[in-house]
Amino acid sequence: MAVALYNRVAQPRGWGLLTPENLEELRGLSMQGRFVRLGIPPRAVPALVVRLIRLYRAEAARVPLHPGVPELLRDLRARGYRLFVVSTNAEETIRAVLARHGLEQAVEEVRTSGRLFGKGRLLSGLLRRHHLLPQRSVYVGDELRDLEASRQAGLRFVAVSWGVDTASGLQRAGPDALVHHPAEITRWLESWA
């Protein structure tokens, strides 16, 4: 869905489109590298982000979750894990996706930031507010900036291979774990308990 939304904005502006042929290459680049490769001028990035957020919100009810993620969240909650969402997506978008999959009760709190690189502070604040120890908490994410945020907050980081950045790029950055299927997350959490 994100690919179609981006292409809808990019095509009339003459920017590079996302295709099956270039998607993997782009996943291996930094955010700035992606913009350069697609021919998006730096001055256009803020407006692009705002436009994509608006489109994404409008389509929130159709946002799919990766296969196995709903079951993972229910299982972790049943095992007594406290689950939180920290994202740059809008809270109402996240809540709509959770509701669509019957997961409203699985997540204790949703924290969002409109800033692309503000997750570290959000994580630290979340830990303080809920009296959680960083060394007993884990952040799961699909981007290099998620890994950077987890390090800022002193958390372990589990990288998932099915998201925004490539598995090889995430692996090079040194996550505590790299998983290829949601069920693997439970095994890592149990091994660290």
Write out pLDDT tens, residues 77-134.
999 999 999 988 888 889 989 999 999 999 999 998 766 557 899 999 999 999 999 9
Looking at the structure, tell me whether residues 79 and 43 fall in a common domain: no
Q: What is the mean pLDDT of the chain?
A: 92
pLDDT at 186: 97
**Res. 61: pLDDT tops 60:** yes
User: Is 64 within a domain?
Assistant: no
Rounded Cα distance between 20 and 67, Å, is: 20
Rounded Cα distance between 107 and 82, Å, is: 7
Q: Residue 86 belongs to what domain range?
A: 69-192
pLDDT at 75: 97
Q: Please answer whether residues 83 and 106 qualify as being in contact, where contact means their C-beta atoms are separated by less than 8 angstroms.
A: yes
Give the pLDDT confidence of 129-169 residue by residue, as tens digits.
999 999 999 999 999 999 999 999 999 999 999 998 999 99
User: Is 63 within a domain?
Assistant: no
Looking at the structure, tell me whether residues 127 and 38 fall in a common domain: no
Residue type, 137: S
Looking at the structure, tell me whether residues 164 and 83 fall in a common domain: yes
Mean pLDDT of 161-187: 95
Angle, helices 69-78 vs 183-192, to 10°: value is: 30
pLDDT at 58: 83
**Partner residues linked to 111 by β-bridges:** 86
Looking at the structure, tell me whether residues 52 and 84 fall in a common domain: no
Tokens at 22, concatenated: 């270039």
pLDDT at 106: 97
Looking at the structure, tell me whether residues 105 and 29 fall in a common domain: no
Count of domains observed in the chain: 2
User: Is 157 within a domain?
Assistant: yes
**Partner residues linked to 141 by β-bridges:** 159
**Res. 187: pLDDT tops 60:** yes
CATH classification of the domain holding 153:
3.40.50.1000
Looking at the structure, tell me whether residues 87 and 169 fall in a common domain: yes
Rounded Cα distance between 34 and 16, Å, is: 10
Angle, helices 119-129 vs 144-153, to 10°: value is: 40
Looking at the structure, tell me whether residues 93 and 168 fall in a common domain: yes
pLDDT at 114: 64
